[in-house]
Structure 1
Amino acid sequence: MNKIKRIYNLTNIKYPWLLLISMLAFIMALCFNRFYPDAFTRIEIVVYGAVFLVALLWSILNYIGHLQISAIYKKHDNIEAFIKRLTMSKEEKAELTEYLNDFVKDLEENGSTHEEAVKTAISHFQVKEFTQSQGNIFETPIHYYLLGYVSVFVGLIIVIQCIDLIVSLPFIVLAVSFMLMLFSAAFISLFFIYKLIDVMIAKK
């Protein structure tokens, strides 16, 4: 159920306006080619090339927009708030809480204030985790929303094609259908490309 929510969390996409520009430009290019079939080939190359570059730019910015510094490396001055943001089991959180509180007590006994001791204890744990994780400080969420868009696009394609079997639709509507087909394939590919990049980042 949680995965379905992630898939259909369509607002999770970044820079949708840039993607929309690419889609509209592609539809316009198809229509231009339809109504002016004898147009200069170089113009077509430039237009489709521009569409591809905008889509490529969006895919890069979209991925970067989802990268976040892991909660474990952000500044914290409260142990409970720090542990609450970590992705651990209850048992692991309980053990870490006990460990950090003991660390704080030791520091306080050595003359540190409570605030300083808390910050030092958390920083010590962060450095330890950073070393063990080999410097991977980014959270790389799985881009399930791409699959959600694919399902929506496929649904629209089916509706358009079914209507076209009954009533002949204008070319621009069929162009939209064709565009959705290509972007569906692109989104599926992008889903796996993003996962591959995530793996590469995790290994660094």
Structure 2
Amino acid sequence: MTNLLRKIFSLKELKYAWLLLISAMLCIFTFYVDEHFNPSDQFWLSIAYFTSFALATIWGGMNYVGHFRINSLYRKQKDIQAYVDQLALGKDDKLELLNYLEDFAADLELQGKTKEEAATEAINQFKVKEFLSMSKHTSPFESHGHHYLLGYGSLSLAAVLILILIEKATNSFSLYLFILETVFAVYGICLIALRILYKILDKFIYRKLKNYFS
């Protein structure tokens, strides 16, 4: 439970926060102009609302991609022991493979390669389909849990509750508070919904990659 809360409120993991902030500020400004001045020509307001939504959508995509990492199994590796440890093999099979790769690397060293170059080439020789299918992680990407979206979403909704309480305490309607309540509520709900979308995308991508490598 403690670990889950730590992940949820690990708020520094938000990527490209400046873009999301611009989207929110533009939405607040446009909403204020719309409600306070209520211009007869709604064209520019529509453009502003659309731009705000588009920026939030672009941020959602950039944030998702920004958390992708190449699976350690697929990265360039120079340590034979570390590579073998990642394979889902039995103890005896791992030992046999380790000895084979080390012997192979030793032969490459005799041919003039450095120890690092020899280890890298030996590992690359075995990064083929039949060995990758036995690895613990078949996907070439490591996806993120995106728990921080729950943190930001819950904080946004908590802000809505606080603003409502302030409005109730003062017993008066404030356009500024109304706008903030609405924007916080919309962005809070969308952040939580975005995590669900991210998980759906994770499963879709994983399934496609699994079929590709199987």
Say yes or no: TM over 0.5.
yes
**Which residue of structure 1 lines up, in the alignment, with residue 121 of structure 2?**
120
Equivalent residue pairs, number: 199
Once residues 4 and 96 of structure 1 are traced to their aligned partners in structure 2, the CA distance between those partners, rounded to angstroms, is 40
Identical aligned residues as a percent: 27
Task: Pick from 147, 152, 155 the counterpart of residue 149 of structure 1.
Answer: 152
Name the counterpart of 2:164: 161
TM-score (norm 1): 0.83
Matched, 1:199 2:203: yes
Label 1:92 to 1:43 Cα distance change in 2 as closer, same or farther (>3 A). Answer: same
Shift of 1:94: 6.4
TM-fit CA distance, 1:116: 4.7
SS of the equivalent of 2:108 reads coil
Cα distance between partner residues in 2 of 1:180 and 1:189: 14
Change in 2 beyond 3 A, CA 1:83/1:22: farther
> What is the one-letter code of the residue matched to 2:19?
L
Q: Residues 94-105 of structure 1: matches in 2 within 5 Å?
A: 98-105=95-102
Judged with a 3 Å threshold, the aligned counterparts in structure 2 of structure 1 residues 21 and 116 are, in CA distance, closer, same or farther, namely closer
Q: How does 1:42-121 map to 2 (within 5 A)?
A: 42-80=43-81, 82=83, 98-108=95-105, 111-113=107-109, 114-121=115-122
Partner of 1:8 in structure 2?
9
User: What is the distance in 2 between the residues matched to 1:200 and 1:191?
Assistant: 14
1:102 maps to a residue whose letter is: N
CA distance in 2, matches of 1:118, 1:157: 57
Q: Which amino acid is 2:108 matched to?
A: S
- What is the alpha-carbon distance in structure 2 between the residues aligned to residue 54 and residue 173 of structure 1? 23
- When normalised by structure 2's length, the TM-score is 0.80
CA contact (8 A) 1:67 1:140 kept: yes
Change (3 A) 1:41 1:107: same
Structure 1 window deviating more from structure 2 (68-77 vs 134-143): it is: 134-143
Q: CA RMSD in A?
A: 2.9
Q: Which residue of 1 aligns with 2:25?
A: 24
Q: Secondary structure at the match of 1:63?
A: helix
Is the alpha carbon distance of 1:68 and 1:154 closer, same or farther for their aligned partners in structure 2, counting shifts above 3 Å?
same
CA distance in 2, matches of 1:55, 1:171: 24
